[in-house]
Structure 1
Amino acid sequence: EIRQSLVLCQNLTLRPYDPQRGIEVGALLGLEDEKGREQWLFLAPDAAGLKVDMVGQMITVITPRSPLGKSLLGKFEGDEVEILVAGARQQFAVTEVI
């Protein structure tokens, strides 16, 4: 339902998750930070920063040009990614990829 709503409302194309290839542009994924906070991201070719409310779930659009987007490419469910933001390290776990 989130998948269809995102495509219909924002005209963004979701790419089916291929567990052999990992996360690619078009992936909808859940991330958890070190403090256990979860967020949903859509990895899109553009429209970075757009926030979409789908059935009560906020989804943030990021691009592969962002530090987080770049670090997510090719990752899989259960993988961890680490980025530097303003000199501070942030770690995230990929909890789900749709």
Structure 2
Amino acid sequence: MSHCSEFAIFKVSKKNIPRVIALSLLIIQEINASEKVVIAHEILQKTDQEEELCWHLTWVNQEAVALIAKKWSSFPSSKELESLVGEKLYYGHFIRM
């Protein structure tokens, strides 16, 4: 089974960036609490637009992505995280060819 890479790009006001980064790291811990399904992660900031942040997550497989998507609203940090994100610009999953 092939790993799955997720890219999520969103706008966050400058004042909320530190909290969004902290919540991003926390929610990855929450996702992995019962089983490690996110095996690598990066939280990136666009070089020419600092209000754009990107999650680059590496999942164990596509099935894990689907399972966690169903559980998303049950994670303690998800509601606050979503309230601080201004606009979701891109969200997609990719597998190696």
Whether TM exceeds 0.5 here: the answer is: no
Instruction: Name whichever structure is richer in helix by fraction.
Output: 2
* TM-score normalised over the length of structure 1: 0.29
- TM-score, reference length from structure 2: 0.29
